[in-house]
Amino acid sequence: MYSRSFESSQNLQESQSVMATILQNLPKECSLTKIEYEGPRIALHTNKPQFLLENNKILSNIVGQIKKRIVLRIDETIRIDESEVQKVAEKHAPQESGITEILFDPALGEATIFVKNISEIIKDEKIINNIILESGWKISFKKIPKNMVTIKNINKIIRNASDYRIQFYKRIGEKIFREKLDPNIEANLNSLGGFAEIGRSSMILSTNESNVLLDCGMNIYTKDPLSRFPRFDSTGIKLSEIDAVLLTHAHFDHTGFLPMLFKYGYDGPVYCTEPTSYLMYILYREYIRHSGSEAHYTDKELEKIFSHLIHLNYNIVTDVSPDIKVTFYNAGHVIGSSSFHLHIGNGDHNFVYTGDIKFGKSSYLENAVWNFPRVETLLIEGTNGGREDSYSSREDAQERLIEVINKVIKNQKLILMPAQLIGTSQELLITLDMLIKQKKIMKCKLYIEKLVTEINSIHEFNVEFLNRELQQSIISNDYNPFRSKNIASILDITTQKLDPGIIIYPSSMLNCSYSKDYLKRISNDPGNLIIFTSKPTGMTLGKEIIDGQRKLSINDEDFEIRCAIETMYSFNSHSDFNQLNAYISRLRPKLRKILVNHGERSKVQNFSGYSSKVHNISTQYLQNQESIKLL
Amino acid sequence: MYSRSFESSQNLQESQSVMATILQNLPKECSLTKIEYEGPRIALHTNKPQFLLENNKILSNIVGQIKKRIVLRIDETIRIDESEVQKVAEKHAPQESGITEILFDPALGEATIFVKNISEIIKDEKIINNIILESGWKISFKKIPKNMVTIKNINKIIRNASDYRIQFYKRIGEKIFREKLDPNIEANLNSLGGFAEIGRSSMILSTNESNVLLDCGMNIYTKDPLSRFPRFDSTGIKLSEIDAVLLTHAHFDHTGFLPMLFKYGYDGPVYCTEPTSYLMYILYREYIRHSGSEAHYTDKELEKIFSHLIHLNYNIVTDVSPDIKVTFYNAGHVIGSSSFHLHIGNGDHNFVYTGDIKFGKSSYLENAVWNFPRVETLLIEGTNGGREDSYSSREDAQERLIEVINKVIKNQKLILMPAQLIGTSQELLITLDMLIKQKKIMKCKLYIEKLVTEINSIHEFNVEFLNRELQQSIISNDYNPFRSKNIASILDITTQKLDPGIIIYPSSMLNCSYSKDYLKRISNDPGNLIIFTSKPTGMTLGKEIIDGQRKLSINDEDFEIRCAIETMYSFNSHSDFNQLNAYISRLRPKLRKILVNHGERSKVQNFSGYSSKVHNISTQYLQNQESIKLL
Ligand SMILES: [Zn+2]
Ligand SMILES: [Zn+2]
């Protein structure tokens, strides 16, 4: 993001002879050494980058003509050795930036420079330009996050796969930009998982030219393979016939099956935002660690994923096959979460898959995007599709949160807030830290586990995916909630001495291995408080408590809940019933059909009936293993 | 039908060791020489048939235990030569029967004896029994129809394929009665054609064990292959993976693609009623004759169809795969037309596909069956699914018919009644002939083409598929409308002298090659009358006239319609809007879901909406190339 705009793109119709147009439009001064497909883009390699860096209108004009993404690459022959880059960078960057680390991607000739202070660098475009010209590396700067483990691990994987990736990008580009084989345009949506249920979201969008997989989740709450995995067995499509995988966001119910896809032979591209890829890596590692010998996959499959990964940013139209263009839009659910706008054929059909969306206020993300250029069919999530799933406004909920927390903290007691690891944990952490900063909540500790810190670091690393306000205040060093002094670590909940404060515990239904320890620590003291932020689901400890059970037995050990219990669903990362309907109301003029997925059967059923009537648009929920014609 | 009951069957649950149960239950006197699968049945071969013929309770008891169809076969060693059968038959049958022809099927050891008078033979069971015992052939008697061409042609095909068929029946039986491979029961319906349209009805019912094709139509009114043929290309199922084809009735929009299925490699069984198979043969031949070098198939494919054909009667439960049992029920649409009751797994799901149905009075067929043992999902045709598709009662229509016809006949003029070749033509012929017989219509000629006579002959051949009254009166020689003296042949409409009468012309929309000649003959005289019996469809001459056009141009020749025009849709072979709803009302208590096919989009759309509201059952129409989960 804080790099020179090396890339241009535009949302228009296709043109014919792409390479010819490029060559005709580029002056000799560009000094091209190679034009090549690089995944969904056309890479222009030059050994004199200065001309195109200084005349960057030239490239955006070509993009306007060919309607394909173009990326500028610097010829390998003029790149300096990795070991010399730091010296060059230090020469051009202000002293106070504090360069701490540089990660290289030799396959693409890119280098990411991590610095302590980034604000001076982004003020002056010349700094990056000079480093690029002197080093021959395509440079970007990032503010260094608290925890670099995941970022370094992934960098190691992609470095090791450099040779493979160069060939892979070429191969994929040739598939995407091939001529269409069939003059007829048809499109079907095949439901594989996550329809009339939550837990293994996956579907295939298939046309006469291509099969694109949208999400690839796994339901870890069941062992039965027919309920655990997406039903690839029921389509006629082989894994090798899938042309692309698109992931809306990192949650395991949208990504958990992806390693198995590679295990069983998939070797095509995976498209997602950068934060999605880093977060899902953390989740995969956690899954492997927890599952031990029962894990369905190992680090080997993770390496495969990351050598096939292509990052997409929001709002850029990208060809993923000869007849499908996708644009990712912010979905407001978790960092990097996306809704997909899929443009099929020559705009013959426009299909939007919301993924999980939050169409409502958040402390750290922008609201879900709804103003798509065109939409005929909308597939919307229905997690909160029941009439009973309307929650109080976030403002009201926040007032109540302040009130109940202060009461507990005043008495020097503890609050436990079970929350989803990715999404609600950050929403709460930032909300609470801001409220403490504003002195609305009494000063107290915000306890988090190491895993949450790791997740938070991806938020720092991808700060450009946060809402504008927070982004600005982190970059400018004004305020960074992820580095707040109020945050303290939980190292061992059973023995650690804890000051009055709030524990954000990353298991929303208390159904993790350590939940019992947390519950034991909190529940015995009538002065303590547990606040649930997600609706009760499954056969979980959380559900039992929310449903009113006070005498519990965990692993044959009986104990009693003596502390207070509250529920506050307004901080949840999903839209509530009203927000879903508000979202549809905005889109309504463009819609012809609404499909509903990602929700218990009763919820999606209710939501379909309600939407058909209230919005007067044909609305239907699918089950898994169904196929519906879009076009 | 007028044969000894050689077959027993029953609708119950499965048992395990089928062969063992049979062997344990049969006394030595049965003198079995072989037990073998024969398609969906188990064939018991004996060289002493007398014992089992006389003690036929033994077999029905075994069927009750094993819940499989059993058929008794006579060992080839005791069969007399074909040339000697007539002598044996003449010895036992009464003189006045008038044996005129015997057709043999050596593969099954069956012989059909055609006689002039059948009433005496069916009164005395001993006649057939004695011929069987003396000849070693499994005998049945049929009254000889007017035209034997089709019947003989088909007999020739199956005789030539005798050796192949013996192996084929064994192969199919082994597939049907194999053990299930998958403990899970799931079922999907995949729409290939005839959904939200009329013209190429076809769908696949697929479970974890099997793929069964329901109907296999072709839309001859379009040349575009994407609209003409069922969309086999869009499923993942190869033709070789289809286990069985079931046909509801003979109309081309339900059978026309079947020869191509064989052309492209299908070699499994085709199940339909006897009249369906004979009628479709006639239609295939007509199609080949008319299409010339453009025909998609030849007699070679027809031979393949008939060597893979297995006739089913109504109301008999038949295994067609390890987890699907089908029962054909009378659908009242045309002779031999069926609704399918498909019993999936161990009754885990019961799916009824109505095919085309007439739930209303007919002059020659019983009303469509509706009292199925169990139904969860109903797929109903929606031809008349529009609100505007309610017609006047048949009684009222008949009064009006009498009135308008008498007016024309009194003036010594002609009436042209365009009608569907199979179905409405017979409905009209029989209605009109009866009304003449009852002197409600003035005596006049009923003109038909040779092709209609051929179709009528299949009705005589399969008289047991007509309604009980008509059946009885034909068998007893009391009254046979197909041999009425009122019937006269049209040999050449352009030159033939015609007495006052009614021409039943087998093209309901006057869109056949000879329609113009008929129209020219009739339309110029203001005293003549044309009565349309089908709603206007397509870009047809019929539609133009019904819509009010009176000046027409056919092949650049202009002419004017001066005769009177009437429309009377109540004689149509499809249920009208009210009849469709009456049918659903009867089934309602058993239903969980209704699907609609076979109707223009606006009709099935209207019908789905109406049915959801009025019957309060989730109703939905599918499009082609969709897949919906039943179970
Ligand atoms: Zn999610
Ligand atoms: Zn029909």
Q: Which pLDDT band, with edges at 50, 70 and 90, does A54 fall under? A: confident
**A234: distance to nearest CA of chain B, Å?**
9
A491–B contact, CB cutoff 8 A: no
Res B553: pLDDT: 85
A188 vs A236 pLDDT, higher one: A188
Q: At what angle do helices A450-461 and A274-291 cross, to 10 degrees?
A: 160
Instruction: Kindly list the strands in the beta sheet with A41-46, ordered across the sheet, starting from the edge strand earlier in the chain.
Output: A7-8, A69-74, A41-46, A32-38
Residues of A in contact with B627 (CB under 8 A): 190, 625-627
Res B209: pLDDT: 94
A234–B contact, CB cutoff 8 A: yes
CB under 8 Å, gap of 24 or more: what pairs does A514-517 form? A515/A418, A515/A541, A516/A541, A516/A554, A516/A555, A516/A557, A517/A493
Quick check: helix, strand or coil at residue A417?
A: strand
The closest CB to that of A625, out of B237, B623, B629, belongs to: B629
Q: What is the mean pLDDT of each run of 10 residues along chain B (631 residues)?
A: 49 53 85 92 93 88 89 94 96 94 97 94 91 96 95 97 97 93 92 96 96 97 93 88 97 98 96 98 96 93 98 97 97 98 93 98 96 96 96 95 98 97 98 98 97 97 97 94 97 94 95 90 96 92 94 86 96 96 92 96 94 91 95 90
Closest B-chain CA to A608 = B618
The closest CB to that of B184, out of A226, A623, A626, belongs to: A226
Enumerate the CATH 3.30.300.230 domain ranges in chain B, comma separated.
2-76
CB of A153 within 8 A of CB of A277?
no
Q: How many other β-carbons are positioned within 10 Å of the β-carbon of residue B293?
A: 4
- In the reported structure, the alpha carbon of residue B220 is separated from the centroid of ligand 2 by a whole-number distance in angstroms of 14
Res B13: pLDDT: 38
**B203: distance to nearest CA of chain A, Å?**
13
Ranges assigned E (strand) in A165-247: 187-193, 202-207, 211-216, 244-246
Q: Looking at the structure, give the CATH architecture of the domain made up of residues B2-76.
A: 2-Layer Sandwich (3.30)
Beta bridge partner(s), residue B415: B502, B529
CATH of domain A170-387+580-629: 3.60.15.10
User: What are the distances in angstroms from CA A224 to CA A219, A295, A602?
Assistant: 10, 14, 22
Res B558: pLDDT: 86
Enumerate the CATH 3.60.15.10 domain ranges in chain B, comma separated.
159-387+574-623
Enumerate the CATH 3.40.50.10890 domain ranges in chain A, comma separated.
394-571
Could you give the CA distance from residue B621 to residue B594 in angstroms, rounded to a whole number?
A: 8
CATH of domain A2-77: 3.30.300.230
Enumerate the CATH 3.30.300.20 domain ranges in chain A, comma separated.
79-144
The closest of A240, A191, A241, A182 to A211, measured between CA atoms, is A241
Mean pLDDT, range A111-133, rounded to an integer: 93
A236–B contact, CB cutoff 8 A: yes
Res A23: pLDDT: 81
Beta bridge partner(s), residue B328: B314, B340
CATH topology of domain B159-387+574-623: Metallo-beta-lactamase; Chain A (3.60.15)
Res A14: pLDDT: 44
The closest CB to that of A626, out of B235, B624, B627, belongs to: B627
Could you give the CA distance from residue B53 to residue A492 in angstroms, rounded to a whole number?
A: 85
Give the Cα-Cα-Cα angle B606, B609, B612 (nearest 5 degrees).
145
Closest B-chain CA to A185 = B226
Res A4: pLDDT: 47
Residues 6+ apart with CB under 8 A from A150: A278, A281, A282, A454, A457, A458
Closest B-chain CA to A623 = B629
B237–A contact, CB cutoff 8 A: yes
Region for A181 from its dihedrals, namely left if φ exceeds 0, alpha if ψ lies in -120 to 50, beta otherwise: alpha
Residue type, A320: V
CA atoms within 13 A on the CB side of B496: 16
Contact B188 A234 (CB under 8 A): yes
A66 vs A401 pLDDT, higher one: A401
Could you give the CA distance from residue B174 to residue B42 in angstroms, rounded to a whole number?
A: 10
B184–A contact, CB cutoff 8 A: yes
CB of B132 within 8 A of CB of B139?
yes
CB of B328 within 8 A of CB of B312?
yes
Look at residue A60 and tell me whether its pLDDT is greater than 80.
yes
Closest A-chain CA to B207 = A234
Could you give the CA distance from residue B260 to residue B276 in angstroms, rounded to a whole number?
A: 18
CATH of domain A394-571: 3.40.50.10890
Tokens of B440: 């409600």
The closest CB to that of B627, out of A226, A620, A627, belongs to: A627
Enumerate the CATH 3.60.15.10 domain ranges in chain A, comma separated.
170-387+580-629
The closest of A91, A107, A99, A102 to A161, measured between CA atoms, is A107
What proportions of chain A, in percent to the nearest 5, are helix, strand and coil?
40, 25, 40
ipTM summary value: 0.80
Residues 6+ apart with CB under 8 A from B147: B453, B454, B456, B457
Calculate the average pLDDT of chain A. 93
Could you give the CA distance from residue B610 to residue B584 in angstroms, rounded to a whole number?
A: 12
pLDDT, tens digit, 9 for 90 and up, residues A73-92: 999 999 999 999 999 999 99
- In the reported structure, the alpha carbon of residue A90 is separated from the centroid of ligand 2 by a whole-number distance in angstroms of 82
Contact A629 B625 (CB under 8 A): yes
The closest CB to that of A236, out of B186, B236, B628, belongs to: B236
Q: How many other β-carbons are positioned within 10 Å of the β-carbon of residue A318?
A: 22
Closest A-chain CA to B227 = A184
How many CB pairs lie under 8 A apart between chains A and B? 38
Enumerate the CATH 3.30.300.230 domain ranges in chain A, comma separated.
2-77
- Interface-testing mutation among B224, B612, B629, B631, with chain A (most A C-beta atoms within 10 A): B629
Residues whose beta carbons lie less than 5 angstroms from ion ligand 2: B 251, 356
Closest B-chain CA to A231 = B186
* Percent of chain A predicted with pLDDT > 70: 97
Look at residue A12 and tell me whether its pLDDT is greater than 60.
no
The closest CB to that of B236, out of A237, A623, A629, belongs to: A237
For chain A, give the number of residues: 631
CATH of domain B79-144: 3.30.300.20
Contact B627 A226 (CB under 8 A): no
Q: Which pLDDT band, with edges at 50, 70 and 90, does A548 fall under? A: very high
The closest of B3, B61, B2, B9 to B30, measured between CA atoms, is B61
Residues of B in contact with A629 (CB under 8 A): 623-626
